Structure 1
Amino acid sequence: MSLLTARDSGHTVAPEGYSRWLMPPAALSVQLCIGQAYVTSVYKNSLIAHFGAGQTAIGVIFSIAIVMLGLSAAVGGTWVERNGPRKEKVVS
């Protein structure tokens, strides 16, 4: 997909009947998911104390979270490039 095709109004203008109130909760949930990786250092010691786990176990959990964040960004990014930022509403 070329840059000019991605900027086409069919990809960027919301279809008729699209609720714009869906965007803020979606954006907030994305930001919360991304932010969880950055606050790990805040609750790491509490997890170690509460579960009696070592730093290695907590590090594995953090590593899995970072890998999933990267994979979801790769998959979601290509999906958004292909379909545009708003998916058309399916009418049944």
Structure 2
Amino acid sequence: MAAQLEQQPDHEREGARQELVIGWTARLSDFLEDNPEVAAELRELIDRVRVGLPETSHVARQSVHARDHAVQYVSQHGNVYVNHHAPQEPR
């Protein structure tokens, strides 16, 4: 799975990762539904793995300034779709 993500272009990688998360979440839910006796063991495994992971913080900063009649279209993690309409007269 990691190899699949590495092959994706940078701009598509997050979407591909999210698709994998959705698929694996469904598989894991089905597995736990069929095998509820392993839930406690899985929680212990998750806790052990988390302890070994480096601490990270995800900070996203964005500063956008527009002056006069400027228009800006900004997206932190996603797409921006713009449909231009003719300016309307003030009422």
Normalising by structure 2, what TM-score?
0.33
Which protein is richer in helix relative to its size?
1
Higher RCO (Cα < 8 Å, 6 or more apart): 1
